[in-house]
C-alpha cells in the first residue's frame, strides 16, 4: 500500500460529457502527477502539480485540466469526452525538493469507460 488513494474506482460516461477524478497524495508528499494508461500500453504523462500550480505537461489537449489543493490532493478534469479517453487514469505522488523530485508512488487508478 502506497497511501495514495483515488476515486472513483470505475466510471462510465458518454461522449461529450465531463468527468472529474480525484487523488489524495501520500502523507508528506507535495507533488501529484497524472498519467493515462490505455489498454496494453505503458502510462503516458498528462501533467504534474506542485504547490498548487501546473509543473509540466505532456502531449495532451487543453480539455485535460487539473487542480491541486492546499492539502496536496488533486483533481483531473476532462471535458468533451471522446471514445479514446477510455483508459486507466493513474495518480502518483512524490516529494519535490530543491533541484528535483524523488520517487513517484502510484495509486490504484480510476478506470474510465467512454461510450
Partner 1 sequence: GDSVTQMEGPVTLSEEAFLTINCTYTATGYPSLFWYVQYPGEGLQLLLKATKADDKGSNKGFEATYRKETTSFHLEKGSVQVSDSAVYFCALIKYNNNDMRFGAGTRLTVKP
The residues that touch partner 1, with contacts defined as CB under 8 A, are 2, 4, 6, 31, 33, 35, 40-45, 48, 50, 55-56, 58, 88, 90, 92, 99-101, 103-109
Least Å distance, CB 115 to partner 1, is 20
Q: Which one, 35 or 72, has the nearer CB to partner 1?
A: 35
Q: Which one, 15 or 51, has the nearer CB to partner 1?
A: 51
CB 114 within 8 A of CB 89: no
Task: Name every residue whose Cβ is closer than 8 Å to that of residue 18 and which is 6 or more positions away in sequence.
Answer: 77, 78, 79, 80, 81
Cα–Cα distances in angstroms (integers) from residue 43 to residues 38, 46, 58, 62, 70, in the given order: 7, 9, 11, 19, 26
Q: Which one, 18 or 66, has the nearer CB to partner 1?
A: 66
Least Å distance, CB 52 to partner 1, is 15
Amino acid at each position: 500500500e502506497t497511501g495514495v488513494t483515488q476515486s472513483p474506482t470505475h466510471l462510465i460516461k458518454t461522449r461529450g460529457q465531463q468527468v472529474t477524478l480525484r487523488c489524495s497524495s501520500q502523507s508528506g508528499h507535495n507533488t501529484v502527477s497524472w498519467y493515462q494508461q490505455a489498454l496494453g500500453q505503458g502510462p503516458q504523462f498528462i501533467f504534474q502539480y506542485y504547490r498548487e500550480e501546473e509543473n509540466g505537461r505532456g502531449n495532451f489537449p487543453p480539455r485535460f485540466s487539473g487542480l491541486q489543493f492546499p492539502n496536496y490532493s488533486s483533481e483531473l478534469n476532462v471535458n468533451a469526452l471522446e471514445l479514446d479517453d477510455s483508459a486507466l487514469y493513474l495518480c502518483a505522488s512524490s516529494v519535490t525538493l530543491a533541484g528535483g523530485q524523488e520517487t513517484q508512488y502510484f495509486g490504484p487508478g480510476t478506470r474510465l469507460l467512454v461510450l
